[in-house]
Amino acid sequence: MRLLLIHADFMEYELKKKTSVAEEVEENGRKRFEEVLVAFTSVEKGDDDRVVDRAVRDIKEVAEKVKAERVLVYPYAHLSSNLADPKTGVEILKKLESALSNYFEVHRAPFGWYKAFEISCKGHPLSELSREITFEEVKEEAIEEKEFTQALKAEEKVKSYWYILTPGKELVEVDKFDFAGHENLKKFVNYEIAKKRAVDRIPPHVEYMQRLQFADYEPASDSGHMRYYPKGRLIKSLLETYITEKCVEYGAMEVETPIMYDREHPTLRKYLERFPARQYIISGDKREFFLRFAACFGQFLMKHDAVITYKNLPLKMYELTRYSFRKEQRGELVGLRRLRAFTMPDMHTVAKNMEQAKQEFMNQYRLSIEVLKDIGLDPEDYETAVRVTRDFYEENREFVHSLVEIIGKPILIEMWDSRFFYFVLKFEFNFVDSLDKASALSTVQIDVENAERYGIVYIDESGEKKTPYILHTSVSGAVERCIYALLEKAFIMKEKGELPILPVWLSPTQLRIVPVSERYLEKAKELALYFRNNYVRVDVDDRDETLGKKIRDASTEWIPYIAVIGEREVKENILTVTVRAESTLKEQKKIEMKPEELLDRIKSECMGKPFKHLPLPVFLSERPSFR
């Protein structure tokens, strides 16, 4: 079944001519419906009652969001080339009409007539939506029902109230906020409210990750599991090392825990149901296990067995989970944006009371801003969302409002009347990409359930056992998603006329030396050794190509520094360097520098960041191509 849902001021149609399969109608005049959600519907081969149930769910969800009380089911064969036979089509449409009538005032245009119609679409972000519901998709949903947690079911039912918190600390309802000058925030708000996660076209970062030979799909694996080529593995490794160092420097103790757990373990089972994620379930040793989707399980069990006193608090524990697993829906899987196997830097903090939890929340909020900035994502590159229960907000209004002071721009507030999850407060930094899809990066949550569930206690000053609070934190979000955000940001830069680039410390090759001819190859090798010994990732283009092609190829690889070596450069001990960060699509910036000056510049741009050597042959002629 295919649906085109239009929220309209009015829809008017007139029956013109019967076809051989037309339904009989008592009157064939004009019909007009005001304030209506029109469901243009094509019934396809294989559609059955399960497809109807799913269609009702989708139409009901949209109608409730746009506050439509009237629905018109309008047969529309033009949405599909795989139509069911007329008899089945009419039966399915009648069932759809009947099921929807339990919730709305429902009308159905007759099947099998040529009709003239006029419609006035309202034009708001949710006024035009399409849905495709296949038998295979419905069947897969039924199979995955056992992996569908109670938290996910609660998430579908939760009623959200949406606000914008302004820098002046005013809480404004979303539909009353003036988004002028905040276009990216508007895109994020529309995405969050619509909750349409599926991607209908390939985002630019996929072309970049493939062409730059960072990563690619692995057809021999399950969807959402990637292969990483040497350059991509280098970038991942640098990010993993940097994020881990920042968390350890912050005071977290690094640990390692298993990747699978007993699905029927009583404590784990209860938490499993409280986490909004689908699981991979595997069988073994007469038991069912689930693959972890975060480091919570192992760290909580470890804390349960530990002896913790008030002197140890706040107690921070960290693990780089390579890998975490979530069985995301197939339509949402694309490139590095959303995966089923991913690397999550996961820190959990035990806090003795809510005041300490709030202080840690604020510290980690600031830490997350710092980490993303060092990765190459500034606050203007992402939008902030705060999810909070109304009770917590009312009791901690000033604390919540203080978050906007630090980020310095309006943030989205999602508020709930009651608590559906294990946390009462959560923030996320969300990157909005070129397709207007948002993806969460950093996050911190204040958990008020799991210390008690896992039996985690601490000994207070008087020697009594007390139940603490726990903060769930990822200061960067998934490592793969950081790479996705950097590549999408590069595309946005290109659209503005700038050259796409990665931060120098993350660039696989930081410096490429290009000899004008074979005569200068030995000098190029000598320089490459100098830079390599001083911890710069350097390579040499020794191929039998023209100078112009070598420089163009280096540019398509986003090399931040390209140094040309010729007769004058050798004689004067200088380098003619193309500086990518200062160039544009129309003009390249070239600077003459001594080798030690270039070294100082590269080192200053990478100060405080981890370093790893080039994972490929230094000479381009010796390199394989992975695509």
pLDDT tens digits for 521-545?
Answer: 999 999 999 999 999 999 999 999 9
pLDDT reading at 510 higher than 90 = yes
User: What are the Cα distances from residue 548, in Å, to 4, 458, 527, 528, 545?
Assistant: 51, 67, 21, 20, 8
Give mean pLDDT, residues 237-242.
Answer: 98
Range of the structural domain that residue 227 is part of: 155-487
Q: Is 103 in the same domain as 124? A: yes
Tokens of residue 577, six digits: 């360097």
Domain boundary among 459, 487, 515: 487
pLDDT reading at 159 higher than 60 = yes
594 CB contacts (<8 Å, ≥6 apart)? Answer: 573, 574, 575
411 CB contacts (<8 Å, ≥6 apart)? Answer: 164, 165, 383, 384, 385, 386, 403, 404
d(C-alpha 609, C-alpha 246), whole Å: 10
Residue 417, in any domain of the structure: yes
For tokens 């969300």, name the residue.
430
d(C-alpha 254, C-alpha 319), whole Å: 6
CATH number where 538 lies: 3.40.50.800
Q: Helix, strand, or coil here: 133?
A: coil
Q: Which amino acid is at 492?
A: I
**Residue 338 and residue 332 in contact, taking contact as beta carbons nearer than 8 Å:** yes
Q: Is 308 in the same domain as 340? A: yes
Kindly indicate the confidence band of residue 135, based on its pLDDT and cuts at 50, 70 and 90. low
Q: Is 483 in the same domain as 520? A: no
User: What are the Cα distances from residue 224, in Å, to 134, 148, 196, 233, 282?
Assistant: 21, 18, 19, 17, 17
pLDDT reading at 120 higher than 50 = yes
Is the preceding omega at residue 422 within 30 degrees of 0, hence cis? no
Residue 148, in any domain of the structure: no
Give mean pLDDT, residues 383-391.
Answer: 97
Give mean pLDDT, residues 380-394.
Answer: 97
Q: Strand 30-42 to strand 2-18: parallel, antiparallel, or no bridges (unpaired)?
A: antiparallel
Residue 586, in any domain of the structure: yes
The more confidently predicted of residues 312 and 130 is: 312
CATH number where 483 lies: 3.30.930.10
Q: Is 68 in the same domain as 164? A: no
Q: Helix, strand, or coil here: 63?
A: helix
User: What are the Cα distances from residue 285, in Å, to 289, 325, 430, 606?
Assistant: 9, 21, 41, 49
The more confidently predicted of residues 158 and 388 is: 388
Residue 627, in any domain of the structure: no
Q: Is 418 in the same domain as 538? A: no
Tokens of residue 503, six digits: 């931060």
Q: How many structural domains does the chain have?
A: 3
Q: Is 385 in the same domain as 429? A: yes
Q: Sheet with 281-284: list strands edge to edge.
A: 260-262, 287-291, 281-284
d(C-alpha 419, C-alpha 504), whole Å: 44
Q: Helix, strand, or coil here: 431?
A: strand
**Residue 425 and residue 392 in contact, taking contact as beta carbons nearer than 8 Å:** yes
CA 275 to chain centre: 17
Give mean pLDDT, residues 262-278.
Answer: 74
Q: Is 162 in the same domain as 29? A: no
Q: Is 126 in the same domain as 51? A: yes
Indicate left, alpha or beta for 133 from its phi (over 0: left) and psi (-120 to 50: alpha): beta
How many other C-beta atoms can be found within 10 angstroms of the C-beta atom of residue 257?
18
Q: Is 120 in the same domain as 180? A: no
Q: Is 322 in the same domain as 445? A: yes
pLDDT reading at 273 higher than 70 = no
pLDDT reading at 605 higher than 90 = yes
Q: What separation, in Å, do the N-terminal and C-terminal C-alpha atoms of the chain show?
A: 38
Q: Is 461 in the same domain as 544? A: no
**Residue 9 and residue 27 in contact, taking contact as beta carbons nearer than 8 Å:** no
How many other C-beta atoms can be found within 10 angstroms of the C-beta atom of residue 285?
7
Residue 135, in any domain of the structure: yes
Give mean pLDDT, residues 381-409.
Answer: 96
Tokens of residue 599, six digits: 């070294």
The more confidently predicted of residues 322 and 306 is: 306
Residue 493, in any domain of the structure: no
Give mean pLDDT, residues 586-614.
Answer: 95
pTM, to two decimals: 0.77
d(C-alpha 51, C-alpha 41), whole Å: 12
Q: Is 124 in the same domain as 180? A: no
- Nearest of 225, 474, 273 to residue 371 by alpha carbon: 474
In this predicted structure, which of 167-176, 205-214, 375-384, 582-591 has the lowest mean pLDDT?
A: 582-591
How many other C-beta atoms can be found within 10 angstroms of the C-beta atom of residue 248?
14
- CA 100, 101, 107 angle in degrees (round to 5)? 90
CATH number where 47 lies: 3.50.80.10
105 CB contacts (<8 Å, ≥6 apart)? Answer: 69, 70, 71
For tokens 């090798």, name the residue.
525
Q: What is the model's pLDDT at position 146?
A: 43
272 CB contacts (<8 Å, ≥6 apart)? Answer: 149, 263, 279, 290
Domain boundary among 110, 142, 174: 142
d(C-alpha 259, C-alpha 293), whole Å: 8
The per-residue pLDDT of the chain, averaged, comes to 92
**Residue 103 and residue 69 in contact, taking contact as beta carbons nearer than 8 Å:** no
Highest mean pLDDT among 17-26, 265-274, 403-412: 403-412
How many other C-beta atoms can be found within 10 angstroms of the C-beta atom of residue 428?
24
| pLDDT one-digit tens code per residue, 474-505 | 999 999 999 999 999 999 999 999 999 999 99
CB-facing half-sphere around the CA of 559: CA atoms within 13 A: 25
pLDDT reading at 100 higher than 80 = yes
Residue 495, in any domain of the structure: no
Q: What is the model's pLDDT at position 85?
A: 93
CA 425 to chain centre: 20
Percent of the chain with pLDDT over 90: 78
Residue 492, in any domain of the structure: no
- Nearest of 291, 320, 271, 281 to residue 473 by alpha carbon: 320
Q: What is the model's pLDDT at position 377?
A: 97
Q: Which amino acid is at 253?
A: M
pLDDT reading at 144 higher than 60 = no
Domain boundary among 92, 120, 142: 142
Kindly indicate the confidence band of residue 285, based on its pLDDT and cuts at 50, 70 and 90. confident
Q: Helix, strand, or coil here: 245?
A: helix
